[in-house]
Structure 1
Amino acid sequence: MKGTLWCLHGAVGQAADWQGFAVPGWAVKRVDLWRFLACCPMTMPEFGRALNEEARAVEGKQVLIGYSMGARLGLHALLNGGPWDAAVLVAPNPGLESEVERAARREGDAEWASRALSGEWADFLEAWNAQPVLAASDRRQGLSAHFRREVARSFIDWSLGAQEPLWGRLGEIGCPVLWCTGERDGKFTALGERAVRSLKDGELWVAPGAGHRVPWDAPAAFQQRVGEFLERVGS
């Protein structure tokens, strides 16, 4: 094995979302993000340090792969001195740049947290999947209500509104980065185009025909592109 691919799921997702994803020659570690919030609150920088500590204990090359919320959390790991040889980030948002935007996002995410914690779980999932940014994707989240407490906590601790803007720090990432977005996800493609201009070694891949959920909207193309990227950066 060349090393390990650390796969971080998105909001209202689960580690099992990455089942079926594989790159020849690499071990796949599907990270359960909810275990980090199971006992107590955890900030995004604290998460980054915790994940880095786990990755340092594993031999071989280490590659971080994150989707949406998982990719945002991955940015915090990359910016906290992790042992990463490369990273694949799918549709992250490096941050909202005005306090007005962040305050509005915190308010909206607090409402999501309340619905996740005490509302009908099926209604919560239906509303989550119906959001415009996700509606272009065929995949629907089906996470168990067993995780409702951790999901609710994530809308507070890991809210985009609680995240300090990372735009000015992207140049600190030392490893090669493949930034992925979907062709039908115009907002996040524009964010990706801006982000890669700040990276030391970054490239943008826009997945044809895909929406926000690139790894599941275009699984074969995504696996092929990640494999090609890893061959390039590993040679």
Structure 2
Amino acid sequence: MEGTLWCLHGGVGMAEDWRGFSVPGWAVKRVDLWRFLDCCPMSLREFGRALNDEAAARSGRKVLMGYSMGGRLALHALMGGGSWDAAVVISAHPGLEDLTERATRRARDAEWAARALKSPWSEFLEAWNRQAVLDRGSSATELRWGDRSKLELRRASVARSFVDWSLGAQDPLWGSLLGIRVPLLWVAGEEDGKFRALAERAVACGGFDGWLAPGSGHRVPWESSQFPSRVGEFLERSVS
């Protein structure tokens, strides 16, 4: 066996989101991000160190894969060193550079935190999926995306993520992308305009491989049938 893909889900996501995802020759470790917040607050950088420590205790080749919020968390792990052999970052934001935008984002995410903690769970989920970046007007993606009702049991940790792991709480990483020393594939959906532009800039800044998934929006791993094979091709040429 080649090694293990450590897969990090997105905001309001679950480790189970990666069920069914596979790349020939690789095991898949579906990481439950909420367990890092179940106990107490944890910053983005603290998460990176914690994940790197966990990975260091495992033998074999290790590839870090993160989607959206999980992609931002993956970047913090990669910049903290770690024993990673390669990485795949999907639909992720390296950080807001304007202080006013960061403050605005923190305030907006504080509102999301309150809704995640106190609103009826179904209403919170409906509002979350109505966001322009996620709303593709297709039930097919939602069916693949999975049932979120069981996530209500973790609502305190979900709420905490909107504070501790807010994009507004994240220092911009643009100037640090060159410090990532492992092969990295940066993925975005061709029809996800904002994150497509971010991906193109990140690829140029970091000298990474890039792929724009045809016909896909933000949720590339669940919208693109080509995604597993593209990851496999990248790993075949990048991880010896």
| Inter-partner Cα distance in structure 1 for 2:43 and 2:238 | 31
Note the 1:168-207 alignment, pairs <5 A.
Answer: 168-200=175-207, 202-207=208-213
Q: For residues 18-38 of structure 1, give each alpha carbon's deviation from its aligned partner in whole angstroms, at most 9, with x where no partner exists.
A: 000011111110000000000
Where does residue 155 of structure 1 map in the other structure?
Answer: 162
| Inter-partner Cα distance in structure 1 for 2:197 and 2:95 | 13
TM-score when scaled to structure 1? 0.97
Q: Name stretches of at least 5 consecutive residues in structure 2 with no aligned partner.
A: none
| Inter-partner Cα distance in structure 2 for 1:171 and 1:162 | 21
Note the 1:47-66 alignment, pairs <5 A.
Answer: 47-66=47-66
| Inter-partner Cα distance in structure 2 for 1:158 and 1:63 | 22
Where does residue 92 of structure 2 map in the other structure?
Answer: 92
User: Matched residue of 1:62: which SS?
Assistant: strand
Q: For residues 57-111 of structure 1, give each alpha carbon's deviation from its aligned partner in whole angstroms, at most 9, with x where no partner exists.
A: 1111110000000000000000001111100000110000011000000000000
| Inter-partner Cα distance in structure 1 for 2:60 and 2:206 | 24
Where does residue 147 of structure 2 map in the other structure?
Answer: 142
Amino acid at match of 1:223: P
Where does residue 101 of structure 1 map in the other structure?
Answer: 101
1:142, distance to aligned residue in structure 2 (A): 3.4
Moved more, 56-65 or 34-43: 56-65
TM-score when scaled to structure 2? 0.95
The count of corresponding residues between Structure 1 and Structure 2 is: 233
1:141, distance to aligned residue in structure 2 (A): 5.9
Where does residue 167 of structure 1 map in the other structure?
Answer: 174
Q: For residues 7-64 of structure 1, give each alpha carbon's deviation from its aligned partner in whole angstroms, at most 9, with x where no partner exists.
A: 0000000000000001111111000000000000000000000000111111111100
| Inter-partner Cα distance in structure 2 for 1:85 and 1:190 | 26
Amino acid at match of 1:20: G
User: Matched residue of 2:226: which SS?
Assistant: helix
Amino acid at match of 1:204: G
1:3, distance to aligned residue in structure 2 (A): 0.8
Counterpart pick for 1:216 among 188, 197, 222: 222
| Inter-partner Cα distance in structure 2 for 1:170 and 1:38 | 30
1:234, distance to aligned residue in structure 2 (A): 2.1
Preserved contact between residue 125 and residue 141 of structure 1 (Cα < 8 Å) = no
User: Matched residue of 2:194: which SS?
Assistant: helix
Q: 1:41 to 1:20 in 2, by over 3 A?
A: same
1:178, distance to aligned residue in structure 2 (A): 0.4
Q: For residues 125-167 of structure 1, give each alpha carbon's deviation from its aligned partner in whole angstroms, at most 9, with x where no partner exists.
A: 0000010000126325632210110000000000000000000
| Inter-partner Cα distance in structure 2 for 1:63 and 1:149 | 29
User: % of aligned pairs identical?
Assistant: 64
| Inter-partner Cα distance in structure 2 for 1:217 and 1:178 | 18
Q: Name stretches of at least 5 consecutive residues in structure 1 with no aligned partner.
A: none
